[in-house]
Structure 1
Amino acid sequence: MYTESEVLEFVKEEDVKFVRLAFFDLKGKQKNISIMADQLHRAFELGISFDASAIDGFESPDKSDLFLHPDPTTLSVLPWRPNTGKVCRMFCNIKYPDGTPYEKDCRTLLKNAIKYAKEKYNLSLSFGPEVEFYLFKLNEAGESTKIPFDNAGYMDIAPEDKGENIRRDICFTLESMGIIPEASHHEEGPGQNEIDFKYSDALTAADNTATFKWIVRTRAASNGLYADFSPKPLEGQAGSGFHINVSLSDESKMPNAIAGILKHAEELTYFLNTTEESYNRLGECKAPKYICWGNQNRSTMIRVPATKKIKRLEIRSADPECNPYIAFALIIYAALDGIENNLIPPAPVEENLFANASKNDIKVLPDTLDLAKKIADESEFVKKVLKY
């Protein structure tokens, strides 16, 4: 949690030569520009300009100048780069030339949601993401195949699980960048893995998710593998989920929050499940499709896990291709809608919905990307939150 002056001092004392200024497009894809360390003072004071018309969904060529303003609290040294002439990374806030925040900056959108929850409801929300991914072998040309790194199953161990060393490497790298991993294991699919990291505020959790995916891809590549975060890379095998655990500073509001998220579930789907492939995952292999909740029930969209400490809810429908900043912001506003209107959730579902061919009395999530987009486009809730 550095200040600007501390970052400038750190860069000077630690022989940092390059600083990567990172930001995100609307799909959550990380972009960056590298500057020399002696340009960092200018970046803090004036920002670093970039061509917004080259970023899909941002601006047209006639008003394309936007500026990156680094967030000093996000400083991390890239541990896989040389110790002499270090390389650092900071996430940035995007602003117009006059200094006003850019409304399509997803970090700003999430910061506004956090601020609104605190100022209007005196409420803080903590997020704990669980990200699943596959490891695939490369061919002789160094390109990705669909051949899994191993054929192990859920929580198997070596020698069946060949991913132990890579997960350990990823965890050490996460630690060195200030992200605290809590657990890692082999998942159900062949070559499928999961690493969970510590709960944090929503913005830090989104930053950590973005950093996590970058680290996994980097460390996989260094081991001659390809890390795949797509929701359904192998037909007939488990898809990869992005399970979003949320806890509230006032636990008494959790039922209202659940009701609010369920109310807006169809409108959220386009932002939680952003690809055509996403809809091949929903309804299969423990990926939910019914808009309901249950205690300890992994077949429902929202699960309330058994826990001896902080009570939390787990949203199980999202997948790793989504933009975590937009997803978390929408979840916060949906939860707050439930709290503001004192919404009461339906009774929890206690049965295994995967074992039932049809549940006509429970609404289902959109089953195609086109339908999800249509619902989102027509949603007043989404228009109010995104404001663009």
Structure 2
Amino acid sequence: MEEVEREDVEYVQLQFTNVEGKLKSMTVHVSQIGEAIDEGLGFDGSSVTGYADVEESDLVLMPDLETFQILPWKSRGKSIARLFCTVCYPNGEPHEADPRNVLDTYLRTWEKEGYTFFVGSEIEFYLLKNGNPIDDGGYLDSPPNDKAEKHRTEMAIDLRDLGFTVEKIHHEVSSGQNELDFRYSDALTTADNIIACRQALKTLGRERGLDVNYEPKPIPDGMGNGLHCHHSLGDSKTGQNLFYDPGGKYRMSDLARHFLGGELVHAPALTALAASAPNSYDRLVPGYEAPVYVSWGGPNRTVMTRTPGYEVRSGSGMRFEYRTPDPLCNPYLLFTGLLAVGMDGVDRELDPGPPASENIFEMTEEERESRGITILPDSLHKALDALHADDVIRGALGEKMTETYIDRKREESFNC
């Protein structure tokens, strides 16, 4: 409350997401924020996808005070703040279909076992004006071909006010395409940052007369937008990277190799969380650096999961880069699933096999088959079928969340 007064905050947005990962918010005047913190704020859950039927519609938002941030824009000179919330039943019990609570609860389970799940993300997007890319720049271009440099830099500075650091910003391969890379953090914080970033970039772009487009494949002959997720396990007490072993195969610990084995075994089902829109499967096609096959490797960008620079990485730098996700995914559900399949690999001591060093797209079908390289689902329907049959991810998400997610995504797919 002292910060609210000091920053001249007029309104506070109480934020949460629906099952699809779409940001929802209830804006309250600063005079009501104390009551909202103490007792929560009621809303109609039946009007938000996946939460409630009309006859049992009363739900409550309970703010998470650790997520308080001033938003990087003002309204008539007054500051606006935000708090992420847990969606609860009227009796105070967290709702099973609240994606943020699903991830938070699952992470706490593994924290008790000594593990912290770290994630850093790269978010790609197009800057469009009147439906067209704002420039004809290419990968790592600079002005004059890159007309977005000033916009990107200003946006990255504004995002700093939301409490996280954008470590790298650059022009991507296609005209008008850009990338921002977040510094890694615990999975819940990174998921919050992705949600906040999507909202902020849209708002900041609109202030400049630009449309920020996150669609997986907004331009048919252009590169798709990815949300590559760099991830590792750390010791929950010391923060030490548990994926690194200087004497291990590929400089990985046994735990890391088994975790990777889980990612590969459960890849079809995990795709339903990572590539969650019908348009996602227009991106997952050969020739555009998006993954198509269940595979892993080092510097090879035709694989599903990379170990960036595993020949030289050490300490906290050892990680995996999961390349299937796109920016429309629900990061809370994705990170829950990603941790679940990795830990299943650890429990079962799954071996990922040798890395792929060749261009997988150029292999013959026989060559891929001989290497045990299978194909990812080529439609949302097929990915949802795999998710429905995957007991590990279902167990992590919970039955209510899993069924709600599958039902909503099948409906979305049928309507396209």
TM-score (normalised: structure 1): 0.93
Aligned equivalents of 1:357, 1:194: Cα separation in 2: 32
Of 220, 224, 233, 1:235 maps to 220
**2:81 aligned with 1:96, yes or no?**
no
Matches within 5 A, 1:1-388: 8-82=1-75, 84-120=77-113, 122-138=114-130, 145=131, 147-249=132-234, 250-251=242-243, 252=253, 253-284=255-286, 285-306=288-309, 308-309=313-314, 310-356=317-363, 358=365, 359-360=368-369, 361-387=372-398, 388=400
The code of the aligned residue for 2:390 comes to S
Contact 1:283 1:354 in 2 (8 A): no
Question: For residues 126-156 of structure 1, what are the alpha-carbon distances to aligned partners after superposition, in whole Å with 9 as ceiling and x for unaligned?
Answer: 1000010011112xxxxxx2x1111111001
Counterpart AA for 2:5? K
Q: Which ranges in structure 1 are unaligned for 5 or more consecutive residues?
A: 1-7, 139-144
**Displacement of 1:41:** 1.3
SS in 1 for 2:340: helix
Deviations 1:88-120 (A, max 9, x none): 111111111111111111111111221122213
Q: 2:302 corresponds to which letter in structure 1?
A: S
Given the superposition, is the C-alpha separation of residues 382 and 261 from structure 1 closer, same or farther in structure 2, using an over 3 Å criterion?
Answer: same
SS class of match (1:81): strand
Which residue identity does 2:266 align to in structure 1?
Answer: H
Correspondence for 1:4: none
User: Secondary structure of the equivalent of 1:62?
Assistant: helix
- Distance in structure 2 (CA, Å) of the matches to 1:157 and 1:230: 24
SS in structure 2 at match of 1:344: coil
- TM-fit CA distance, 1:166: 0.7
Partner Cα distance (2:278, 2:123) in 1 = 19
What is the identity, as a one-letter code, of the residue corresponding to 1:321? L
Q: CA deviation at 1:235?
A: 1.1
* C-alpha displacement of 1:292: 1.1
Instruction: Render the CA deviation track for 1:311-332: whole Å, top value 9, x for unaligned.
Output: 0000001111100010011101
Structure 2 gap ranges (5+): 235-241, 244-252, 401-416
Partner-residue secondary structure (3-state), 1:129: strand
Runs of 4+ in 1 over 3 A off after TM superposition: 82-85
State which drifts further: 10-19 or 233-242: 10-19
Output the aligned Cα RMSD: 1.3
Alignment-derived partner of residue 5 in structure 1: none
- Counterpart CA distance in 2 for 1:189 and 1:333 is 34
Deviations 1:176-205 (A, max 9, x none): 221111000000011000010111000000
Code of the aligned partner of 2:352: P
Distance 1:41 1:346 in 2: 55
Deviates more, 1:92-101 or 1:372-381: 372-381
State the identity %.
36
- The Cα of 1:354 is off from its aligned counterpart by 2.4
